[in-house]
Structures are given as structure tokens and as C-alpha cells.
Amino acid sequence: MSDYLKGKTVLVIGASQGIGLAAAKKFGEQGARVFLAARSLDVIEKQSNLLIKQGVSATALHCDVTQYQSVVKCVETVLATDSLDFVVNSAGTIDPLAHLINSDPDLWAKAVDVNLKGSYNVIRACAPHMRSQGGGTIINLSSGAANSILEGWSHYCSTKAAAKKLTEVAHKELSHYNIHVIGLSPGTVATEMMKKIRDAKINVVSNLDWSSHISPESVALGIVYLCGPEGGHYSGTDFSLKTEEGRKLVGLE
């Protein structure tokens, strides 16, 4: 895998913490040139500087997935010096953690902007360039919530279900350009988002034992796997790390 990724260019959006940051580090370890993007530029500048000290080619970029032109500017900055081999969209929000009748309409709308429109914006901004260069891979962070009914998660279940369908349609339209659009459903992950879910005590996921959650680094293994030669087999689908087969394929078992 390291030979395959060496010298490739990866744009990780939502790279300031959690899964996105873990993915950026893993790609860097494999010899890829990594662009870390997020709304909080100061945070990812610190993270990219740490990677640079470890010998990784890392660059920090501002990107707000809710704003199409922000994504376009981010992508164009990468393309000014590099190709765009892989894009990982790990930007997401779990707010508002509330029953629908009590939910904040503005926060609910923001969840649509980040979790659904953000996925569209990333695909729309990247796909034309990938088509021109002969292909590429876009990984969307999905969730078991796309197929679930969970109290207090009307926004999350709805947006993740819609984003899953977006991945399927994108595959149908883009696969003949050698562009792979793949969803990754990691299960529950030990991140700051999961701490917020735990503290909300709103549904069964809040009550899961912390030891049952996998690490962001484990999810990063899955992302790197899907960007490899075998990943194309899962284009248009949600690759799950909750299955025994999925865990074995990425080296978790």
C-alpha cells in the first residue's frame, strides 16, 4: 500500500481532529502528499506543522464545506501545484442532539448544509478535475444512521441517508470516468463527537460502553484501504467496518 500511495496527493477535509486528522496522518505515513482542510485554519496549521516535523509533506488549507466557493478555492489551491488523486470528506456534525419537536431549526438546517450539501459540494468541486486527469477517488464518511431510526437524530439519520443515496448516484454518473465515489460506514468511533453523544443520553448509542467504540486510527486504515487498488470494487456503496469481512480486509482482525 505504501508504494501505491507514495507521491500521491490526498485532500482531507475535516482534518482538524478525529477521523479526518487520523486519516491525514496515515496517508502521510504512507508517503502521500497531504493537504489538511477545515474551517479552523489555525488548528490545522498546527497539525500540519507537526506532520512536517515528522517528515510528511503537509499543507493546511481553509475549507468550509457548506460554502461551494470555499470548496472550489480549496481544490484549486491543491491543483495549483499537484494532481488530485484522493479526497476524503470527513466533515460532519451531530448537532442538534434533540427530539425533533424540541430541535433548533437553524441547527437542523446546518446539519443539512454540512452532512448533505457538504458532500455534494465536495463531489461537485472535485469531479470535473478528476475527469480531466483520468480518474480519482472520493471517500464520503457515512454512518449506520443512514439505515437506522434513532431518537434525537432526525437530522443525522436523514442527512446520512440522503448522502448515501448521493454516493450511489455519483457512482452511476462518474464511474465511467474512472472516478470512484465510496462511502465508509465506520460504526461508532471514540471521538469528541462520540463524547457529545454519550453526554446527551438521548438514545441507545449514548449508552454504549466506551470500550465498544473503535479508534479514529482504525477508521483511517479503512480509508487508506479504499483508496488502494481494491477500493474501486466498493465504489457506489457504503463499505462497513462493522462487518467481519470489512474489518479483515482493512487489517483490523
CA separation (Å) from 156 to 58, 73, 94, 235?
31, 27, 6, 23
Residue 235 CA to residue 175 CA, distance in Å, equals 8
Homologous superfamily (CATH) of 2-187+215-250 is NAD(P)-binding Rossmann-like Domain (3.40.50.720)
Residue 82 pLDDT? 86
Residue 213 CA to residue 190 CA, distance in Å, equals 5
Q: What is the pTM of this model?
A: 0.96
> Is-contact 23 225, C-beta < 8 A?
no
Which residue intervals of the chain are DSSP H helices?
A: 2-5, 18-29, 41-53, 68-79, 105-111, 118-133, 154-174, 192-200, 216-226, 244-250
CA separation (Å) from 30 to 5, 139, 173, 214?
6, 17, 30, 21
- Torsion angle of the four alpha carbons 38, 41, 47, 49, in this order, in degrees rounded to the nearest 10: 130
Block means of pLDDT (10 residues each) for the chain, length 253 residues?
A: 82 96 96 96 96 96 98 97 94 96 98 98 98 97 95 97 98 97 96 94 94 95 95 95 94 87
Amino acid identity, residue 13? I
Residue 3 pLDDT? 81
Omega before 96 within 30 of 0, i.e. cis: yes
Residue 18 CA to residue 239 CA, distance in Å, equals 19
Residue 1 pLDDT? 44
Residue 53 pLDDT? 96
Residue 64 pLDDT? 98
CA dihedral over 75, 28, 184, 206, signed as positive or negative: negative
